Structure 1
Amino acid sequence: MIGAGVFAAFGPAAKVAGTGLLIGLAIAAILAYCNATASAQLAATYPTSGGTYIYGREQLGHWWGFTAGWGFVAGKTASCAAMALTFATYAVPGPWWAQRLVAVAGVLGLAALNYRGITRTAALTRVLVTATLLALAAIVVGIAVGGHASTTNLGGWQALGTGGVYGTLQAAGLLFFAFAGYARIATMSEEVRDPRRTIPRAIPIALGITVVIYVLIGGSALLAAGPDRLAAAAAPLTEAVTDAGAPGLAPVVRIGGALASLGALLALIAGIGRTSLAMARNHDLPRWLAAVHPRYQVPHHAETALAVIVSVLVLTTDLRSVIGFSSFGVLVYYLIANLSAASQPAEHRRWPRALNIVGAAGCVVLVATLPPPSVITGVVMFALGLAGRWSVRRVRKRPASSAG
């Protein structure tokens, strides 16, 4: 969660909501909490790889599970492209073609690291998150002491309504993209020690820490640069420290943004690989993707295929479009997570059912208010996935019917 989202999502959110992105951030945080508790509760009941793909299958039926898994794999594949593009934006200020090549190199390098096993993935993640936190701390301190940050950049109380209700909710949907990392804890349950105890504790604690950090960064960036300059910037936090009177911190921000993006991308590759593995085991994706490396115990075919697809997206898409598309897929995923948690019996409940209802309703609202191109692309993506599964199931049934 403390990854590329904090370096990338404030720009698009400021574009649609202005200072109202702060309200959008609060809405996204509340919805993320509802979704996090649902995921934690379900993970304690089903400590196996696959996340909501498994929960939906077990609680609601196979079609629900497939829809969740398809949304996760498609949406998070787009997230991988967004992380890679953010990494390149901060790491290489040069021409767009150089950024794209560096982004592809980052994808292939981290996929190779993931191939060697989850222990190496976790060790590098700790290093990257530590470096990211140090960079974010430098940003907040730099803005505070730079001398140019001012409450006048916020535009007053009336500026909170700049984007209207629609713009504020759209900002919440875009910022939700930055919070959604807690799903990776649940999707990797098979590789967690004592998952029934660890996961329900880890998810809410991780989310709480992230919310505090995002509020500090979002508020500081607005005080430094104001919403208009954030909206126009390719690297919003670099713009913030420069406008705050601390341009010397720009290299620190660029390094932090690059490392944060790599950390998020590393976790994404691991999470998508495990969900693809679970879906392939149940024949909802090609069986070839279910292969697990005999030595490193990772779904190496799934991660190899993911690296190829993400590399193609990096070369053909832009950052803002993949953030919106990713949010669509992930919000549908969490809608099904909330519905699955709401259907659990009392003996499996750890949080009130009301949180699941609020979470499900919030997912529907934010999906509906995403940018229209993201909604259209998302609907087409789900239609293709569901139609494909229906067609494959029909083909599989024909030989059995003929034999009978």
Structure 2
Amino acid sequence: MSSRPSPAPGVPDELQRRLGVPDAVVIGLGSMIGAGIFASLAPAARAAGSGLLIGLALAALVAYCNATSSARLAALYPASGGTYVYGRERLGEFWGYLAGWAFVVGKTASCAAMALTVGSYLWPGQAHAVAVAAVVALTAVTYTGVQKSAVVTRLIVSVVLAVLAAVVVASLTSGLTDTTRLEVGSDATFGGVLQAAGLLFFAFAGYARIATLGEEVRDPARTIPRAIPIALAITLVVYAAVAVCVLLVLGPNGLAAAAAPLTDAAKAAGADWLVPVVRVGAALAALGSLLALILGVSRTTLAMARDHHLPHALAAVHPKFKVPHRAELLVGAVVATAAATTDVRGTIGFSSFGVLAYYAIANASAWTLPPAEGRPARIIPAVGLAGCLVLAFTLPVSSVVAGAVVLAIGAVAYAVRRLSARQG
């Protein structure tokens, strides 16, 4: 076990507990029901073919194990930082640091991807400019307080759920549905299903955002364990309904070839009026994910800064708004720069490896809990850890190599810092 250093004199160190179960659930939904459902179905179908729904079920299983492990740990350690804190307390300082490093780097890349998704849907010709504007606007929202962020997220989630419901209804009433398309055929391979699960997993990954807000949740021992499974269950029901309906209308091959699956499903169902609505819904979904990502990355940055793994000035909490304002401004600036200079494809694979490493450390941390501290059944963190590792290595080789290099750089930086501290 390690203890966190005391804050510098005059630097506010405590966030305010303002979020209840509904707010925490909404933030989790805003993270999960985002751009992933609009973008991940087609590549998953290309990988798994008619085994897409099996891939979705596997992704949900790994997500459930991760969510259960995260919920138990968050109740025990209700502080900002999520797995950075859990790894530090259960496995040692290095593993906590590595989890925080993986999260901050990986999710910063995810922020850029979400911002670029907003731009590509709203104004394809000026995607980078729109992406930067979205980052600036949402950073301003998070700067003025987490409660306002929860309100904005609630509005976005409501609109996105309405759009997805419209797609489901249009698909089911089109007369084009064919239940034989849900049958698993010879085009589904074991490796393809695993790859599809890896692609679809990231659409579930937002539940950890609830845990990273642990210091701003009222009664975290009760709120977090309730909010995480509720948000995950709602998301699974929504995703399953959308995936089934799109498969019924387009079929595995049509879905695999779709550039914009939900838009194509609306067109195939004869609901052309729904196409612009889906585009707006996709942009709003990406905005919701971006908002929650900025919240999560800035809180992990805050926790690492408190422990001097990042500049300690980033540990400051705004005296009026009670948010880690310096961390939020830095995260916003880095994401805006990435959104202005990169593309969506270049950021997604890089992010994926880091996120799975983060969750692997969360499950390893949960494994060490004794029964008296609320340890889940050992099978849960074991399946979660194994699932994270397997899904990580279904990613393209370039993504695995890039992610491993970034983790190695973080490990070297940690070793250099420790050596300097000893010599000093």
Q: Give the TM interval when normalised to the shorter protein.
A: over 0.9
* Cα distance, 1:315–1:11 mapped onto 2, change above 3 Å: farther
**1:402 maps to what in 2?**
none
Other structure's SS at 1:146 match: coil
Taking every aligned residue pair, what percent have the same amino acid on both sides?
57
The 8 Å contact of residues 139 and 332 in structure 2, kept in 1 or not, is answered as yes
TM alignment of 1:2-401, pairs within 5 A: 2-92=33-123, 94-95=124-125, 98-151=126-179, 156-159=183-186, 161=188, 164-349=189-374, 351-399=376-424
* Cα distance, 1:261–1:145 mapped onto 2, change above 3 Å: same
Inter-partner Cα distance in structure 1 for 2:250 and 2:128: 27
Other structure's SS at 1:31 match: helix
Q: Which amino acid aligns with 1:326?
A: S
Inter-partner Cα distance in structure 2 for 1:308 and 1:181: 22
**2:15 maps to what in 1?**
none
Inter-partner Cα distance in structure 1 for 2:345 and 2:132: 18
The 8 Å contact of residues 198 and 392 in structure 2, kept in 1 or not, is answered as yes
Q: Deviation digits for residues 122-145 of structure 1, max 9, x if unmatched?
A: 111111111111111001011112
Inter-partner Cα distance in structure 1 for 2:346 and 2:121: 18
The 8 Å contact of residues 20 and 159 in structure 1, kept in 2 or not, is answered as no
What is the CA-CA distance between 1:159 and the residue it aligns to? 4.8
The count of residues paired between Structure 1 and Structure 2 equals 393
Q: Which amino acid aligns with 1:305?
A: L
What is the CA-CA distance between 1:153 and the residue it aligns to? 5.2
Other structure's SS at 2:305 match: helix
What is the CA-CA distance between 1:392 and the residue it aligns to? 2.1
What is the TM-score normalised by the length of structure 2? 0.89
Inter-partner Cα distance in structure 2 for 1:63 and 1:45: 20
Q: Deviation digits for residues 243-299 of structure 1, max 9, x if unmatched?
A: 222222101111111111111111110111101100011011222322222211111
What is the CA-CA distance between 1:321 and the residue it aligns to? 3.8
Q: Which amino acid aligns with 2:419?
A: R
The 8 Å contact of residues 170 and 371 in structure 1, kept in 2 or not, is answered as no
Other structure's SS at 2:273 match: helix
The 8 Å contact of residues 15 and 232 in structure 1, kept in 2 or not, is answered as yes
What is the TM-score normalised by the length of structure 1? 0.93
Inter-partner Cα distance in structure 1 for 2:165 and 2:356: 30
Inter-partner Cα distance in structure 2 for 1:317 and 1:218: 30
Inter-partner Cα distance in structure 1 for 2:337 and 2:175: 43
Inter-partner Cα distance in structure 2 for 1:272 and 1:159: 42
Q: CA RMSD in A?
A: 1.6
The 8 Å contact of residues 89 and 235 in structure 1, kept in 2 or not, is answered as no
* Cα distance, 1:86–1:46 mapped onto 2, change above 3 Å: same
The 8 Å contact of residues 55 and 340 in structure 1, kept in 2 or not, is answered as yes
The 8 Å contact of residues 229 and 239 in structure 1, kept in 2 or not, is answered as no
What is the CA-CA distance between 1:110 and the residue it aligns to? 0.3
Other structure's SS at 1:158 match: coil
The 8 Å contact of residues 4 and 260 in structure 1, kept in 2 or not, is answered as yes
* Cα distance, 1:324–1:23 mapped onto 2, change above 3 Å: farther
Relative to structure 2, which stretch is displaced further, 68-77 or 218-227? 218-227
Other structure's SS at 2:319 match: coil
* Cα distance, 1:87–1:228 mapped onto 2, change above 3 Å: farther
Other structure's SS at 1:363 match: helix
Relative to structure 2, which stretch is displaced further, 4-13 or 105-114? 4-13
The 8 Å contact of residues 8 and 86 in structure 1, kept in 2 or not, is answered as no
